[in-house]
Amino acid sequence: MEKYIKIACLLLVIIAVALFVKSRWNAWFVNQPEPSFVAATTPDRITITPGEDFMTERTISWRCGDTIAPSSITLIKPNNDSIKIDAIGTIVKSRGGIDAFYHVQMNNLEAGKQYKYYVTTNGKTSQRHSFTMPQKDKETRQFLFFGDVQDTINGNSNQWFAKLYKTYPDVEFWACAGDLIERPIDTYFNYFYQSTDSILASIPLINATGNHDYLKSLYPTIDARWQHTFVYPQNGPKIALGLCYYIDFRDMRFIILDTQGINDCITLTARYQWLKKCLANAKDKWKIVMYHHPAYSVRKNRNNFQVRNTFVPLIEKYGVHLVLQGHEHGYMTNIGTCGDHPVYVVSYMSPKSYPSRPPQPGFKIIPNTPMYHIIDYNESKMVLHSYALATDSLVDIINISR
């Protein structure tokens, strides 16, 4: 009899697991089909990103056509002299078509100076854009942070971005904790860049990978367009170049960790060892870590134990000051529970909200409120102001000292 009971229990477990996998099958393994598209005939998706040294380096990327053609950037210096820099081109094949992406890395840019530029591919030239390098001795610096955007086609993100750009024209960069778009499909990329309306050609974007940037499978892979649209420093682990990276400021090290690409012990260990080294070498600086999946979940019935058990010990050991996260479409911070360091923040901008956990001792949770955050910092103090996206009302302030 005991033998049959054990068999029955095993069958029940197998059935329960099978039903659970079936319920999650689409979410885990089924990708939304991508319609065929025709490559852009003129340069578009022009994006500026920082180099490893935020104070002196920038990279400009764009796409045009479906074959590699002569491409360059014409950079107009503050004294109105101009130089032409040849671009590096890469063919990217996706499920819907073929794109040719280009990028140019620029070094030794002057502090506080404005540069103008335009890009050219195969004789087709973009409109002129400009960017301003940060001032060298500015006492207080400012940047903008937001979580998942994931807007629907013809949603309101064009209004959000226009408002943020107009209201905060002096921020040094924008930072996103992943999932800028709903899925890695040409239609969503097009809508996102229509919504930003050339803003990202002037304001540097620091972006983390999210699950919506990956193609679903048993072993998820990043959509190749992501790494060529957002060209970041190649200072991460070899198996995650451009996905894990860090950027150094005068008084801050900003570390971006790819948590979606953790598929096995090898990918996990590589990220762990790299993050450990990044933090250990970031002495006498503000330390910010940004990734997609929260260590402490705000969404009901979520538990990212892998992130929490692997990376939180490093974050606490090496005195990270601020951890920026997204993914769970709610707002939460642990301020008041862990002392001054580290402060964990979960946030989002998407029109899609998820049920939040009930109130938790020591955690501040604000459900159903898309937000953006303005972060000011100087040598000794960092202040995070959190605003409701719909009303621009201030809903939280976090002070961090070092």
Query: What is the tens place of the pLDDT at every residue in 306-317?
Result: 999 999 999 999
| pLDDT at 255 exceeding the cut of 60 | yes
Please give the pLDDT value at position 402. 85
Report which DSSP code applies to 128. P
Q: How far apart are CA 383 and CA 378, in angstroms?
A: 9
Burial status of residue 367 (CB atoms within 10 A of its CB: 0-12, 13-18, 19 or more): middle
Q: How far apart are CA 278 and CA 227, in angstroms?
A: 21
Count of residues in the chain: 402
Query: What is the tens place of the pLDDT at every residue in 184-196?
Result: 999 999 999 999 9
Q: Ramachandran region of residue 321, left (φ > 0), alpha (ψ -120 to 50) or beta?
A: alpha
Sole residue written with tokens 């054990």: 6
The backbone torsions φ and ψ at residue 130, rounded to the nearest 5 degrees and listed phi first, read -145, 155
How confident is residue 26, by pLDDT bands cut at 50, 70 and 90?
Answer: low
Span 333-340, average pLDDT? 65
Rg of the chain (C-alpha set): 22
Please give the pLDDT value at position 218. 87
Span 309-328, average pLDDT? 96
Contact indicator for 69, 23 with CB cutoff of 8 Å: no
Span 108-125, average pLDDT? 98
Q: How far apart are CA 254 and CA 243, in angstroms?
A: 13
pTM of the model: 0.93
| pLDDT at 28 exceeding the cut of 80 | no
